[in-house]
Amino acid sequence: MSSFMKRVFLCLIGVIAGLAAWPFAETAMIYQAYFPSFLIFSIVVGLIFGLFMGSFFASSEGIILADKSKIFKGMITGAFVGLIGGIIGFLAGQFALFIIGQTLIHSMKSFNKIGLPISRAVGWSILGIFIGITEGIRSSSMKKISIGIIGGFLGGAVGGLTSEFLKQVIPNVLFARLIGLLIFGFFIGLFYGFVEKRLSYGVLRVLNGIYKGKEYLINQRKMKMGFSSKNDITLSEYSEIDENHAQVYIKKDDVYIKSLAKSAPVKVNDETISDHLLKFGDVVKVGEAKLLYKYQ
């Protein structure tokens, strides 16, 4: 999948995640009056929201690789990390909402028109940050975490504002929050994909074979390449590839490739290497697979 397609795909996943989370969050919310406190209420709604957002986003990697076990495993770990992120995020967001709301409601004349949407958007942004970083924590990548902070923050802000203003334009709209959550998910996905590309160390594009056209963003300190699906760059279906064939890694903002292969050599620009600094335009050969290292 090209990185453009990946961005579209992440947006889709975000929308689907919002769709899945909505009825559950809504159910918890109609019982708000039965909760003993705002604390418990926030924990439960945050847990539900984070669980669905986290598991759906974590399924994306497996789906791109068309690997059912990766989808399943991703969703389980994503759900777990997501629910923790959801709880913390919702609590932090709710805390901020209370503080800003209480300040603005007594100091702003047009509170309902401007103050409330702003307070809500700040709260959503904070929630977004924690939802955004779950994917980075799950795959233990600092780069993904920082990407998630920006993507989640912007996604939360835009989603929160849009849903809030939507409610003002069409009062009593039944699905205002649903649309808000879909936008929330969409924007987290969109910014995630967008920012991910901007913050990456370049792209490895597969040039031939079954995965031709697929682009791997280099956004982790270490990325393994090989036949097995445990690798970050899975090159099954190619011949002459070892279980773990090569490793792409980052040292002082430079990208290197190191051979881990026993059977076939790793080549850069048709020359066998063991540990090599990559520059844009280099052609990497791993077994029968060829990849182009490029800027974007």
Partner 1 sequence: MIKKIILFFYIFFSLQILFSDSVRISQIDTSKLLINQNVDVYVSITNDQGNPIKNLSKEMFTIYESTDGKDFVQIDKITDFNNEVNSQKGINFLLLIDNSGSMYQDMNGRNTSNENNMRITSAKKAVRNFLDNINIDKDKVGLAVYNSYYTAYTKPIDDKEIINGYLDSITKPQQGEGWTEIYSSLYLAIDDFSTVKGRKAIIILSDGENMPYYTNTKKEHKDFGTKIFTYEEPIEESMKEGISIFAINFGSSAERKDANLRQIAKETGGAVFNAYDERELSSVYSKINNQILNEYLISYRATMFPSDKKFVKVNLNNKNRDYNSTRYYFSSTLFGQPLNKFAPLLFLLFLLALVFLWLLSLLKFEKINAPPSLEVLSTQVGRPVTKLLSLGKGGKTIIGSSENSDMTIVGAPTMKKNHATVQFDKTKSAYTIVADGDLTVNNRRVKSKVLESGDVISAGGSTIVFDEGMMTKMKTKKKKKK
Q: Phi and psi of 203, rounded to 5°?
A: -130, 140
The site string for partner 1 over 71-100 (x = CB under 8 A, - otherwise) reads x------------------xx-xxx-xxx-
- With left for phi above 0 and alpha for psi between -120 and 50, is residue 247 left, alpha or beta? beta
- 41 scored as a contact of partner 1 (CB under 8 A): yes
Out of 1, 149, 250, 260, which residue is the one contacting partner 1 (CB under 8 A)?
A: 1
Out of 4, 39, 170, 230, which residue is the one contacting partner 1 (CB under 8 A)?
A: 39
- 13 scored as a contact of partner 1 (CB under 8 A): yes
- 124 scored as a contact of partner 1 (CB under 8 A): yes
The site string for partner 1 over 150-169 (x = CB under 8 A, - otherwise) reads --------------x--x--
Interface with partner 1 (CB under 8 A), residue total 94
Q: How far is CA 24 from CA 11, 17, 33, 45, 256, in A?
A: 21, 12, 16, 8, 46
User: Least CB distance from residue 138 to partner 1, whole Å?
Assistant: 17
Q: How far is CA 104 from CA 26, 92, 114, 169, 220, in A?
A: 27, 18, 10, 21, 42
Out of 7, 144, 177, 245, which residue is the one contacting partner 1 (CB under 8 A)?
A: 177
Are residues 241 and 288 in contact, defined by beta-carbon separation less than 8 angstroms? yes
Pick from 154, 180, 185: nearest CA to 29:
180
Q: Which residue number, 109 or 251, has a Cβ lying nearer to partner 1?
A: 109
User: Least CB distance from residue 168 to partner 1, whole Å?
Assistant: 12
- 110 scored as a contact of partner 1 (CB under 8 A): no
Length of the chain measured in residues: 296
- 186 scored as a contact of partner 1 (CB under 8 A): no
In this structure, what token pair is assigned to residue 91?
């609590």
Q: Could you say which residues in the range 205-264 bind partner 1, by CB under 8 A?
A: 205, 207-214, 227-228, 236-241
In this structure, what token pair is assigned to residue 178?
């649903």
User: Least CB distance from residue 155 to partner 1, whole Å?
Assistant: 15
Q: Which residue number, 73 or 290, has a Cβ lying nearer to partner 1?
A: 290
CB contact set of 57 (below 8 Å; sequence gap of 6+): 10, 13, 14, 17, 78, 82, 134, 135, 188, 189, 192
